[in-house]
Chain A
Amino acid sequence: MEVVRLHVNGDDHVCGVPAHYTLLEALRYGLGLTGSKQGCDKGDCGACTVIVDGRAILSCITPVWEAEGRDVRTVEGLANGTELHPVQDEFDLNGAAQCGFCTPGILCSSVALLDRNPSPSRDEIRVALAGNLCRCTGYEKIYDAVEAAAGRLDP
């Protein structure tokens, strides 16, 4: 066991983890933040996507040590208190989550996109989500949700 210090969703955590843990394992098994998902084992599916220093990254292939001293945001930290991020609300309204297992990762990729580009084109959304596999929706409703969320963001 090693001690790692993480800054997740605005909180500082001290967490004991095996030295080989990934960020995903530390989030899920160390901190109990189970929103981020494990869908493959090696960075293929994107279900583990979280936002680190503003960039969407794959937490399942990020050694936990690389996240020390950085700002980590997970799906649990996208809402502002009781106020949902518009993309969360629009996912619900547009039926963009079916089984919901890829959803946390796709939300993180979407928020990272909207933070740097508040009015993306549909093609820009497609590119931003290219690392997130969804097996349920065929992606259309996800694009709809991200577009609608962009329309609700302050310019």
Chain B
Amino acid sequence: MTKRNGARGGEDGFSTIGRPMRKVDGLAKATGRARYTDDIRLPGMLHGKILRSPHPHARIVAIDTSRAEALEGVHAAVTGRDMPTTYGIIPWTPDEYPLCVDRVRYIGDGVAAVAAVDEDTANAALGLIDVTYEELPAYLDPHEAIAADSGPYIHEPRKPGWNGNITKVVKLAFGDVEAGLEDADLVVEGDYFFEGTTHTPIEPHCAIGLAEGNGKLTVWSATQVPHYLHRELARVLDVDPAQVRVIQPPVGGAFGGKSEPFDLEFCVAKLSMKTGRPVKILYTREEVFYSHRGRHPFHMRYRTGATRDGMLTAVDSEIVMDGGAYASFGLVTTYYSGQLLTAPYQMPAYSFHSTRAYTNKPACGPKRGHGSVQPRFAFEVQLDRIAERLSIDPIELRRRNFIGSNTRTVNDLRVTSNGFLECLDEVERASDWKRKYRRLPFGRGVGVAGSTYITGTNYPVYPNDMPQSGIQLQVDRSGRVAVFSGASEIGQGVDSMVTYIVAEELGVPLEHVRVLAGDTDFTPVDLGAYSSRVTFMLGNACIEAARKLKAKVREAVAAEWGAKPGEVLLAGGLAVRAGDTGTSMPLRVAFNLAEAMFGTLGATGSYNTPKDVHGTYRGATIGASPAYSFTAHVAEVEVDVETGFVTVEKIWIAHDCGRALNPVLVAGQMEGSAYMGFAEALMEEQIFKTADQGRAGLHNAPSLLDYRIPTSLDTPALESLIVESIDPEGPYGAKEAGEGPLHPSIPAIANAIHDAVGVRMDSLPFSPPRVWRALQAAPRDSWRTVLTDSVRAAGVGGAK
């Protein structure tokens, strides 16, 4: 196991992998030349707008678009009846229409769309669409939604015994939980609430449709899932999938918020089919908040048992999730809420019972750390409580419960590489934990938390046996390698990642690699930029393709030299004879020889997951991944007792990414993740007004001024500590880095607040009013200084 913090290169025999390198799109992004979807302007392009529901729940009695269509400059209007086919990213829960057909389910639900000569005319036309609604009672609270015993429900009941406000119920148990709790020396029970948050990429969603009149349909979209979008466009619009082309330009941030089809993609396609003109729709920032698909609000209850030595005996949870109006990925979220908690700690027994409710609010979905950030918050605070009650250092408690590597979790997930202990060591050392924990002045504290996350889901969202990731390489006569990649560059650096791999394997300089990506007309399928799957899956596919090519080149050069293929090395832009550095040729010449021998030079590579990495029970496949990343954070905070204002001074982030293919990009993912977790801990709330607040179901603040995301002045110092466990199946040992490092930020901050002032924060966000109220509610003598002493005196206290 290696550990390091920053740049390195040349170790392990690599020429490229492991070095800090530029991104292939860095220059385009630093000069303004990168062309995002809204930067594309096609000749004759029309502008579309979507009319949205003003009601949280209502029947559509009638829609009349005739006045809008009569407006000068308006070319077409569409309503739900033009596209009456349901869709959903998860094939088992299709419950959305591109535009509502007979029912609206949240304020902001799309009901009609227009295409006009310019944006102003399109906006004016929306005001001329007449919609007659019959309002229905709205459900805003998930508990009330689940408890309702008469309709109208938000959807038709999915199963006998469920009302129509339930998306999914998952109840799974592993081992004897009640016996484990009974045998425990200490059982800690806690209720937690995780408020909903949303992604807020700086680029609003945007799409352009172009129907060419010959049956061909092209859609440009700021999407993370061009392949799934391709399938759904064809199915919903009843177009031959072979006639559909999805182009994904650079995406200006996504974080899970662009990982399923949205109304605008269907609307630009349909409006273009109606008009014969290209049509663009760009969401306003307000619409981005309505489209949402962000973090579900979770109401969680945890019972955690431990022995006197701090060893976990059993964990049980009961979770109610507020899903909003549609299923989105909710079926998966419901499983993830329980399935992803079973590492990095050993749990002899575990059970969870999670219910996802529909409510009349924008649909929740996958946000960075999908489904597992909320339970991780609760559970890591539970661990802190146990450590406190048993007077065990919280880092030591976590070490004791370490699950290990090459093992199975209690829910039968296969864990291979696991650098969690090193992560704990790193944050303990870097933060100077031993001198700070319980030793800082009142008002200042440190907290620790750990986590795990998947490196890709083991199965695609629609069942099939084809690869999850594919790549195609092509070599030309100038010595250049073209990489055809279906993966989605959303800023994480996937185009750069495949460039580094091609350079490593074939010995070509980085500038001789061209990545042609994100176009379903000419790139092999990659399922998309979600679930932290891309580096692992596309990386392995790319290695396979590059090695096939390499074998041909070596064979051709070996024939030229009268050598064995194994004696031909490709590096530094040259083919070199092993042990005879005087014998070499430029790679361009080597490629030419190979082309002469084999014909046009190209190769494909694919990756699919191993199938023996999970159990056989129903749901066992959800949460299964070919590898898991591990993370530990220490946060240091200062709490102003007068105002409840929490300042996070610094977060130390140690993350086991397997191997850092480019440490600069890995650290960037770690810092961006920790930043986003910090933001959820202290600032962000996707919340809605109640009837008492004037208008039930109205988004509280759909702007970037009022939905507060951290500025440079809010954001704490962030220090990345890369841990490399070298995964046996990852590309060069790599695992994910884009989502795991978000998780511990939130509980680490909660635990640090406790260390600072002795108050437990169990509801998010830890905003000044909440912290102030918690301080007021706690008796003064329970504030930290006294509490510390009493805990020390009590030793193992208050079992059960």
Nearest CB to that of A102 among chain B residues? B202
- Tell me the minimal C-beta distance from B779 to chain A in angstroms: 37
Q: Residue B709 contacts which of A18, A100, A135 (CB distance < 8 angstroms)?
A: A135
Q: Is A119 an interface residue (CB 8 A)?
A: no
Q: Residue B27 contacts which of A42, A92, A107, A143 (CB distance < 8 angstroms)?
A: A92
Q: Is B644 an interface residue (CB 8 A)?
A: no
Given contact pairs A76-B31, A91-B30, A130-B712, A98 touches B668 in the complex (Cβ within 8 A): yes
Distance A24 CA – B285 CA, assembled complex (angstroms)? 16
Distance A12 CA – B36 CA, assembled complex (angstroms)? 26
Q: Is A5 an interface residue (CB 8 A)?
A: no
Q: Is A11 an interface residue (CB 8 A)?
A: no
Given contact pairs A93-B22, A126-B713, A135-B201, A107 touches B718 in the complex (Cβ within 8 A): no
Question: Which residues of A sit under 8 angstroms from B25, Cβ to Cβ?
Answer: 100
Question: Which residues of A sit under 8 angstroms from B718, Cβ to Cβ?
Answer: 138, 140
Nearest CB to that of B251 among chain A residues? A99
* Residue contact B29 to A103, C-beta cutoff 8 Å: yes
Given contact pairs A41-B284, A84-B30, A97-B30, A135 touches B202 in the complex (Cβ within 8 A): yes
* Residue contact B30 to A18, C-beta cutoff 8 Å: no
Question: Which residues of A sit under 8 angstroms from B704, Cβ to Cβ?
Answer: 39-40, 44-45, 133
Within 8 A of A (CB), among B661-706: 664-665, 667-668, 671-672, 674-676, 703-705
* Residue contact B703 to A40, C-beta cutoff 8 Å: yes
Give the contact stretch, choosing among B80-88, B487-495, B564-572, B602-610.
B487-495
* Residue contact B253 to A101, C-beta cutoff 8 Å: yes
* Residue contact B33 to A101, C-beta cutoff 8 Å: no
A114-155 interface code vs B (CB 8 A; 1 in, 0 out): 000000000001110111111111111111000000000000
Question: Which residues of B sit under 8 angstroms from A42, Cβ to Cβ?
Answer: 285, 703, 705
Q: Residue A99 contacts which of B31, B490, B703, B715 (CB distance < 8 angstroms)?
A: B490
Within 8 A of B (CB), among A24-51: 28-29, 32-42, 44-45, 47
Distance A37 CA – B29 CA, assembled complex (angstroms)? 12
* Residue contact B32 to A101, C-beta cutoff 8 Å: no
Distance A42 CA – B706 CA, assembled complex (angstroms)? 12
* Residue contact A138 to B715, C-beta cutoff 8 Å: yes
Question: Which residues of B sit under 8 angstroms from A45, Cβ to Cβ?
Answer: 202, 285, 704
Distance A135 CA – B30 CA, assembled complex (angstroms)? 16
Nearest CB to that of A99 among chain B residues? B491
Question: Which residues of A sit under 8 angstroms from B717, Cβ to Cβ?
Answer: 140
Q: Is A22 an interface residue (CB 8 A)?
A: no
Q: Residue B711 contacts which of A38, A130, A141 (CB distance < 8 angstroms)?
A: A130
Distance A104 CA – B36 CA, assembled complex (angstroms)? 13
Q: Is A74 an interface residue (CB 8 A)?
A: yes
Number of cross-chain contacts by CB at 8 Å: 174
Nearest CB to that of A128 among chain B residues? B712
Question: Which residues of A sit under 8 angstroms from B120, Cβ to Cβ?
Answer: 18
Q: Residue A134 contacts which of B202, B250, B667 (CB distance < 8 angstroms)?
A: B202
Distance A32 CA – B41 CA, assembled complex (angstroms)? 9
Grouping DSSP codes into helix (H, G, I), strand (E, B) and loop, the A interface class, with mixed when no group exceeds half, is loop
Distance A154 CA – B297 CA, assembled complex (angstroms)? 52
Question: Which residues of B sit under 8 angstroms from A66, Cβ to Cβ?
Answer: none
For B31, B254, B668, the residue with the greatest tally of chain A CB atoms inside 10 Å of its CB is: B31
* Residue contact B202 to A137, C-beta cutoff 8 Å: no
* Residue contact A103 to B285, C-beta cutoff 8 Å: no
Within 8 A of B (CB), among A42-63: 42, 44-45, 47
- Tell me the minimal C-beta distance from B443 to chain A in angstroms: 22
Nearest CB to that of A126 among chain B residues? B712
- Tell me the minimal C-beta distance from A27 to chain B in angstroms: 10
* Residue contact A129 to B712, C-beta cutoff 8 Å: yes
Question: Which residues of A sit under 8 angstroms from B203, Cβ to Cβ?
Answer: 37, 39, 99, 101
Question: Which residues of A sit under 8 angstroms from B218, Cβ to Cβ?
Answer: none
Given contact pairs A93-B22, A138-B718, A75 touches B32 in the complex (Cβ within 8 A): yes
Given contact pairs A98-B493, A135-B255, A35 touches B671 in the complex (Cβ within 8 A): no
Q: Is B204 an interface residue (CB 8 A)?
A: yes
Distance A136 CA – B368 CA, assembled complex (angstroms)? 11
Q: Is A79 an interface residue (CB 8 A)?
A: yes
Could you list 18 A-B pairs, sorted by A, with CB under 8 Å? A18-B120, A35-B31, A38-B282, A45-B704, A89-B30, A91-B26, A93-B22, A95-B665, A99-B203, A99-B253, A99-B491, A101-B202, A101-B252, A130-B712, A133-B704, A135-B709, A139-B715, A143-B712
12 more contacts with CB within 8 A, not counting A97-B491, A127-B713, are A34-B39, A35-B32, A38-B204, A39-B285, A40-B703, A92-B27, A95-B26, A99-B203, A129-B712, A130-B711, A135-B253, A136-B253
Question: B interface vs A, CB < 8 Å?
Answer: 22-23, 25-36, 38-39, 41, 120, 199-204, 250-255, 282, 284-286, 490-493, 664-665, 667-668, 671-672, 674-676, 703-705, 709, 711-713, 715, 717-718
